[in-house]
Structure 1
Amino acid sequence: MTLEQNPGAYAEFRAARDHLLAHRGDLAGARAFPRPEGEFFNWALDWFDPMARTTPGTALRVVDLDADGTVLAETALSFAEMSERSTRVAGWLRSLGVVRGDRILLLLGNRVALWELMLAAIKIGAVVIPASTLLSPDDLADRVHRGRVRHVIAEAGLTGGFADIEGDWTRISVGDQEVPGWLPYAHAASFPVGFRPEGVTRAEDPLLLYFTSGTTSRPKLVQHTHRSYPVGHLSTMYWIGLQPGDVHLNVSSPGWAKHAWSNFFAPWNAQAEILVVNQPRFAARPLLDAMVRYAVTSFCAPPTVWRMLVLEELSQWRPPVRELVGAGEPLNPEVIDQVRRAWGLTLRDGFGQTETTAQVGNPPGLALKPGSMGLPLPGYEVALVDPLSGEEVTEPGAEGELCLPLDSRPLGLMAGYQQDPDRQAEATAGGYYHTGDVAFRDADGYLTYVGRTDDVFKSSDYRISPFELESVLIEHPAVAEAAVVPSPDPVRLSVPKAYVVLAPGATPDAETARSILAWARQQLAPYKRVRRLEFADLPKTVSGKIRRVELRTRETDLHGGPEAPARGKLEFWEEDFPAQP
């Protein structure tokens, strides 16, 4: 369905978007935005293409750097060019047999083809399964089989990962290297323009299938619709504070939901430029140089990246940046303070999941409370629910699981977990979508993150939030990253133990351990203090999230019984330092 056939969809989406832009700094007014509720909607056809015809400037800029920060290649494309190129690709894919409802696995890095293919797939009505380029052959086989994939489009250099995966599916390779048995994506560039959609796209038709990062269990298969992600990401646009003409840089790898959040839907909802900076290995200084060179006005990065950035003297760089946000895991107050001191800007936190868009955040123009992840964003109502009673927790300061009431269905909530009725029933029990995250709310409605329900633990009958302890630990100059888990103890049931990654120049020895433990003891209540510490790398998912479940299992193996070994290789206990005050 073209714009001429469905003009109401464009007008409805535009009205919602413009309302949010007009209510910057007025969250109450923004929350009253007119929700797009039309039966039919195709974001690429009904929003992007007509918007592209009247929007000047660059839509996408992809910059490749070498290890020293030298620009190796740069491609910049306008909105009109992206519209035309994706229409050409849509026609080519259809000629290969891609039809509405077919599932396409995309295994691509940050290259222009990724954006062309996403738009083209949406125009066709195909279902996209984004995949990380770091996945193993077993991971790929799981996605092909559980995702019921009909077509695979992969980097030429990664096609070997599919060698042992059987099935009758189309194979398309992207890159200069031709791969035997795979169709070259380059053929799409010469295909005639003339694509027209076959039938209408319903707003509730499936659009995206995401495999979660699997921090605690086997990856779940999350389905989003043509409404829940494209329209749902109006909340993300509002949280970031994006405006038409912005240059938005987001540090995120393709294959994960955050890439769609900040590298696709939210910027183009706002008519902003997407800037992508590719590095062979992440380095802070070349990225900061690029922010200045390309006049970045809006910047988003996960806390891991922010912790690496603040190791530099940020005040040496002065990009024209207006908005700074972080997502993926909670931001530590020390990182926020360092950024404010260097740039005079507030680094704002936000919360969401693969299953949703941005649910809670600190949008620009509102008062920010230290440690809080903010307020419910437009399109979301939030309840805190007691996990035992199932009743809402309303008193200020009381903890509860952060849940989304389903009687006012959130705009950006997934359609559901596919092929997993038990998980789906558990996630939607009692009339709520259960996030699995614990938070508390103050008298003004601000929400503060406590931790995953699986990560919060008891020590001497006190509830411990790992995030609170980790935030204190990284304030120590020797600590770059930390993860706190329960360590079995015969007296206290468990005690807090920190796995610590050291900052450059720090030595993993007893003196450093003494200093870190003393610092934590000074800053924390006695029942919260870190009693054990081990210097070690942190296990992470391929999307960069800490797998505390692995650390908890390791602690059980180390300290969970009389036959367990006494210590880790570089582990220290507070009892090792009797003179410590």
Structure 2
Amino acid sequence: MSSSTASAGREATEAFRTARDLLLTHREDPEGARRAFHWPVLDRFNWALDWFDVIAAEHPDRPALRVVALDGAETSLTYGELSRRSSQVANWLRAQGVDRGEHILLLLGNQVELWETLLAAIKLGAVVIPATPLLTADDIADRIERGKVAHVVADAADTGRFDGIGGHWTRVSVGPAEGWLSYTDAYQVEEHFEPSGPTRATDPLLLYFTSGTTAAPKLVEHTHASYPVGHLSTMYWIGLRPGDVHLNVSSPGWAKHAWSSVFAPWNAQATVLVVDYGRFSADALLDRVVSCGADTLCAPPTVWRMLIQADLSRWRVPLREAVAAGEPLNPEVIEQVRRAWGLTVRDGFGQTETTAQIGNPPGQPVRPGSMGRPLPGYEVALIDPVTGAQADEGEICLPLDPRPLGLTTGYRDSAERTAAAMRDGFYHTGDVAVRDADGYITYVGRTDDVFKASDYRISPFELESVLIQHEAVAEAAVVPSPDPLRLAVPKAYVTLAAGVEPGHRVALSILRHARERLAPYKRVRRVEFAELPKTVSGKIRRVELRGREQHRPPEATGEGARLPGEFWEEDFPDLKG
């Protein structure tokens, strides 16, 4: 490494450290952090070399990664071990032809090779396309083609799904697989890594295929700065401190995994704790929270809704902080956790396209239903979709002057989508919210999900939050159902709690519950018991449910017509009016 490159690396490390330490100093002073924080100005920056390897040299024996299986098997690596092993993997991948700027599809589960390969790719300056093992062969083929993949690293159990997929790409298998290079050979090479040249902070690092809640997946690009450095905001929102043990419940392949299982905890010099389970078990997860001494926990609302189905008071959790992101968190979930553990689950908001933008960090009072206020490094505007002016209710947008560091450069496969998202001096999230006089922002819904009934604007999230307060409801999704008089009425698709049988009695109870807690124009007027369709990342696909309602079969559109498992308030004389 040349002296000028080494000097640039030291300057970048110190700029990053200064920004990070300011947030740690203000860890329970959100107002002070928002005023004082500025994104570090970086020209050349390679997070794996200029941050991870540096802190690994400072604290080589500090635990960096702990993967715990439900059968008791465990793998742990220190910062020093991960630094050395990732350098070996980087040297070996380079020998197999992986070059700066080339695209690597990374299809691995929660196994140590995932973290080693990601760090190795960063060191090389390669571009990573994370992929979940839940993808189908068609999904994989689409990613290889649209992502211009040159190299694949996959677990041996999944290599068969690449059979028949065309193209010329290097095949690396974790575990023996015929015709694939063996990943274990990487551990036989030199531990010292020498970069081929400087990494610009603006160089592409990650390409994420979005989860497709409303349309086909988009290809989101992030740089060596936007995610590694941008997740300083996520670190702050979670409340991570050096030496913490942080458990994140997230599947590899999605942006949330990088958020909270890579960049945010390692920015804080914390330990990443991973519970590797085949089928989700609330009891097993909470057992590991206790036995592994987790200080902080991040889980999507879907998981929190599953956790509260258990008797949370059975576990004396060591948690200091608990957060949720991915979808809005229902107030009832927050209240149940508070009653059981005396701990407030703090909501946050971000996207694949950004790091954490809005949240309730430690030290900020939580207002039920609100996802908080803008986090350090972010300014948030709510734009009225009709007038284009800033308002108290509107689309969540980020001003582009100055541009927040944690924002995507755009959609790699579509200049048109990028231009539409970045129009008029703002990045448009596609999410609608309201802001109160104190700056707290409350989620309303996706622009596609908000609908009108009897000319009133309806937020599905608000109605869903009321529904899951009912003891029989595990999850709910509200969409418009066609109605000849009102144009549309709110209909709830409901997944019942374990042991509850669907039928007339429980439908009446749920409709009555909603009627007593919602204004007449908002009340849920139809219920259907069903499993909710979800993306492979676990987000509810309301677009699919809306489609079902818009294309109801002829036999289910006339007066008195019902779909299987569906109940209307007209079926219950006591609810009329």
Q: Same fold (TM over 0.5)?
A: yes
- 2:11 corresponds to which residue? 8
**Correspondent of 1:47 among 30, 46, 51:** 51
Structure 1 ranges of 4+ moved more than 6 A: 559-565
Give the fraction of aligned pairs with identical amino acids, expressed as a percent: 67
**AA of the residue aligned to 1:64:** A
Contact persistence 1:15–1:34 (CA under 8 A): no
**Deviation by residue 1:116-160 (Cα, 9 ceiling, x = unmatched):** 000000000000000010001110011000000000011111111
Matched residues in 2 for 1:235 and 1:42: separation? 19
- 2:305 corresponds to which residue? 307
Q: How does 1:49-448 map to 2 (within 5 A)?
A: 49-55=53-59, 56-65=61-70, 70-71=71-72, 73-175=73-175, 178-393=176-391, 398-448=392-442
Matched residues in 2 for 1:387 and 1:57: separation? 50
Closer, same or farther: CA 429–87 of 1 in aligned 2, 3 Å: same
Closer, same or farther: CA 457–191 of 1 in aligned 2, 3 Å: same
Contact persistence 1:381–1:408 (CA under 8 A): no
Give how far 1:291 is off: 0.6
Give how far 1:28 is off: 2.3
Give how far 1:34 is off: 3.7
Give the secondary-structure state (helix, strand or coil) at the position aligned to 2:132.
coil
**Correspondent of 1:531 among 516, 525, 530:** 525
Unaligned ranges ≥5, structure 2: none
Matched residues in 2 for 1:5 and 1:524: separation? 59
Give the secondary-structure state (helix, strand or coil) at the position aligned to 1:275.
strand
Give the secondary-structure state (helix, strand or coil) at the position aligned to 1:6.
helix
- 1:33 corresponds to which residue? 37
Give how far 1:405 is off: 0.5
**Deviation by residue 1:454-473 (Cα, 9 ceiling, x = unmatched):** 00000000000000000000
Matched residues in 2 for 1:13 and 1:490: separation? 59
Residue 2 of structure 2 corresponds to residue 21 of structure 1: no
Matched residues in 1 for 2:136 and 2:24: separation? 42
Matched residues in 2 for 1:11 and 1:34: separation? 14
**AA of the residue aligned to 2:197:** G
Give how far 1:319 is off: 2.0
Matched residues in 2 for 1:564 and 1:99: separation? 63
Matched residues in 2 for 1:212 and 1:564: separation? 38
**AA of the residue aligned to 2:416:** D
**AA of the residue aligned to 1:7:** R
Give how far 1:18 is off: 0.3
Give how far 1:577 is off: 0.2
**Deviation by residue 1:430-483 (Cα, 9 ceiling, x = unmatched):** 111000000000000000000000000000000000000000000000000000
**Correspondent of 1:510 among 504, 510, 525:** 504
**AA of the residue aligned to 2:22:** H
Unaligned ranges ≥5, structure 1: none
Give how far 1:567 is off: 2.1
Give how far 1:5 is off: 5.3
The TM-score normalised by the length of structure 1 is 0.96
What root-mean-square deviation, in Å, do the aligned CA atoms of Structure 1 and Structure 2 show? 1.3
**More deviation, 9-18/22-31:** 22-31
**Deviation by residue 1:45-84 (Cα, 9 ceiling, x = unmatched):** 000001111124210000111xxxx41x101111000100
**Correspondent of 1:570 among 562, 565, 570:** 565
Contact persistence 1:439–1:447 (CA under 8 A): yes
**Deviation by residue 1:262-320 (Cα, 9 ceiling, x = unmatched):** 00000000000000011120000011111110000000000111011111111111121
Closer, same or farther: CA 218–560 of 1 in aligned 2, 3 Å: farther
Contact persistence 1:60–1:275 (CA under 8 A): yes
**AA of the residue aligned to 1:219:** P
Contact persistence 1:460–1:494 (CA under 8 A): yes
Contact persistence 2:8–2:44 (CA under 8 A): no
**Deviation by residue 1:381-407 (Cα, 9 ceiling, x = unmatched):** 0000011221111xxxx3200000111
Matched residues in 2 for 1:313 and 1:485: separation? 31
**Deviation by residue 1:194-228 (Cα, 9 ceiling, x = unmatched):** 32001100000000000000000010000000010
